[in-house]
Amino acid sequence: MFTGIVEELGVVGERDGARLRIEAQTVVVDAGIGDSIAVNGCCLTVVDVHLDHAEPSRSWWVADVSEETFARTNLGALVPGDPVNLERPVRLQDRLGGHLVQGHVDSVGTIVEPAPDLRVTMDPALARYVVEKGSITVDGISLTVVDALDDGFTVAIIPHTATVTTLGAKGPGDPVNLEVDVTAKYIEKLIAWRRPADR
């Protein structure tokens, strides 16, 4: 479980088939094999890690990415040198600065208008889960919806967020990973389950 508060900007160091090597300093400090790290909001499992105490900038970690993940996220478009948003899972004693984020990407949206007045289009089937002043995760960043639209949403990006995440460098046409609030999906399913069948 994550919070959508990006800890650092990492960089794709290498992509070898389904394997991604991410250069990072903060998230590798206490990372071990089998741990989870969110990359652009997508939960990946650490399969190798190197923490260079002498030169922290030479630290990295590796994840194997499934075909399903490549197909449902923007990770398949990553190339060496691309920046990525990174976050470690929340610990029970941490503050929850964003909202509960699973790291399970629902869809890939497209930026129509860049930051600071970010507008993103998305699969209309998911738009029902987006509400004004509700939470949405964009490339792993917990954001508050300004306007919920039939085909997407808008959010206001503050300068700090634009600086410390990938959103400051993304423009029209760029893909972004989207995760809607899972609570809305559970409520919908419970209501549908309890509703008597149409006669």
Q: For the structural domain made of 8-87, what CATH number should be given? A: 2.40.30.20
100 or 176, higher pLDDT: 176
Domain ranges in the chain?
A: 8-87, 107-189
| pLDDT of res. 95 | 77
Fold of 107-189: Elongation Factor Tu (Ef-tu); domain 3 (2.40.30)
Q: In Å, how far are 3, 10, 37, 81, 164 from 27, measured between CA atoms?
A: 14, 9, 8, 18, 15
Q: What is the pTM of this model?
A: 0.90
Matching CATH topology for 8-87 and 107-189?
yes
Judged against a pLDDT cut of 80, whether residue 61 lies above it is answered with yes
CA–CA separation, 169 vs 53, rounded Å? 30
Which tens digit of pLDDT belongs to each residue from 123-159? 999 999 999 999 999 999 999 999 999 999 999 999 9
Which tens digit of pLDDT belongs to each residue from 80-103? 999 999 999 998 777 778 888 999
Q: Which residues contact 63 (CB under 8 A, 6 or more apart)?
A: 19, 20, 22, 37, 39, 44, 45, 46, 47
